[in-house]
Amino acid sequence: MAKLLCIQASPRGERSFSTAVADAFVSTYRQTHGADEVLVRNLFDWRLPEFDGLALQAKYAILHQKEHSEAERAAWQAVTEVTDEFKSADKYLFAVPMWNFHLPYRLKHYIDILVQPTLTFSFDPQTGYQGLVTGKPAVVVYARGGEYAAGTPAEAMDFQSKYLESVLTFIGFTDIRRLVVEPTLSEPEAVARTKQQVMEEAARLAGEF
Ligand SMILES: Cc1cc2nc3c(=O)[nH]c(=O)nc-3n(C[C@H](O)[C@H](O)[C@H](O)COP(=O)(O)O)c2cc1C
């Protein structure tokens, strides 16, 4: 039995395009992978631990091979609970809106908690950085108000997919598949058609994921 972790990063509920596409994926996945566990987390409904001064001290203590103080240990424990849940999955689905050419801040917060030495990456002075989340596929659903197609001038402003995929690659992912729903801020009938097409694509991908 495998576990699919679905991370949603839109607060827009039923109006969200990324969530609708991810829901289509999950719905087919449940039908085609009946024995698997599916965990859905919406980052706007989930109170993540702060990644503040204490958590940073705990992170730097590890980087500098120092023991944790009592307070740092508690802060690190809260971080570890989030990374443990993330690593407990076998497959990942991310539903990601574009905000200001990048990610919604709650997803950045999640990433700041996830990307940790010894938990999701390691460092060796001889060999450098190595990702520790390996052998697990991911699907990312990107929703954008505008269009950022490869080869167009707008592509340079797509820090959403470049950043997310760089971070996922840094922590070890090598199999990252994309579903793109754009431009969502366009003429409503055309948008509804695009949404429907990408939902169908998501359902197809889910069946073989
Ligand atoms: C705070 C905010 C910033 C946005 N910035 C951009 C942007 O930089 N480029 C863009 O194409 N669309 C932008 N949009 C539009 C969203 O990408 C679009 O509405 C998308 O459908 C959001 O995903 P969702 O429907 O899953 O919530 C922004 C929307 C919000 C709320």
Number of domains composing the chain: 1
Q: How many residues does the chain have?
A: 209
Q: At 87, is the pLDDT very low, low, confident or very high (cuts 50, 70, 90)?
A: very high
Which amino acid makes up residue 180? V
Nearest CA to ligand 1 atom 8: 100
Domain for residue 191, yes or no?
yes
* CATH number where 172 lies: 3.40.50.360
Please tell me the pTM assigned to this model. 0.96
d(CA 171, CA 61): 20
Domain for residue 150, yes or no?
yes
Q: What is the extent of the structural domain holding 95?
A: 3-49+89-207
Domain for residue 104, yes or no?
yes
Span 65-75, average pLDDT: 94
Q: Is the pLDDT of residue 19 over 90?
A: yes
pLDDT tens for each residue of 98-131: 999 999 999 999 999 999 999 999 999 999 999 9
Nearest-CA neighbor of 183 among 151, 156, 158? 158
Quick one: tokens of 196? 């429907």
SS3 201: helix
Q: Is the pLDDT of residue 83 over 90?
A: yes
pLDDT tens for each residue of 140-157: 999 999 999 999 999 999
Asked if residue 188 has a cis previous peptide bond (ω within 30° of 0), the answer is no
Q: At what angle do helices 70-87 and 53-63 cross, to 10 degrees?
A: 80
Q: Say how many Å lie between the CA of residue 161 and the centre of ligand 1.
A: 13
Domain for residue 142, yes or no?
yes
d(CA 22, CA 17): 9
Residue 157 sits at φ, ψ, to 5 deg, of: -90, 0
Average pLDDT of the chain, as a whole number: 97
Q: Say how many Å lie between the CA of residue 145 and the centre of ligand 1.
A: 5
Domain for residue 132, yes or no?
yes
pLDDT of residue 39: 98
Domain for residue 159, yes or no?
yes
Q: At 63, is the pLDDT very low, low, confident or very high (cuts 50, 70, 90)?
A: confident
Domain for residue 164, yes or no?
yes
pLDDT of residue 95: 98
d(CA 35, CA 89): 14
Among 43, 184, 195, say which to mutate for ligand 1: greatest number of ligand atoms within 8 Å of CB.
Answer: 184
Among 144, 152, 194, 195, say which to mutate for ligand 1: greatest number of ligand atoms within 8 Å of CB.
Answer: 144
- Judging by DSSP bridges, how do beta strands 37-42 and 91-97 pair with one another? unpaired
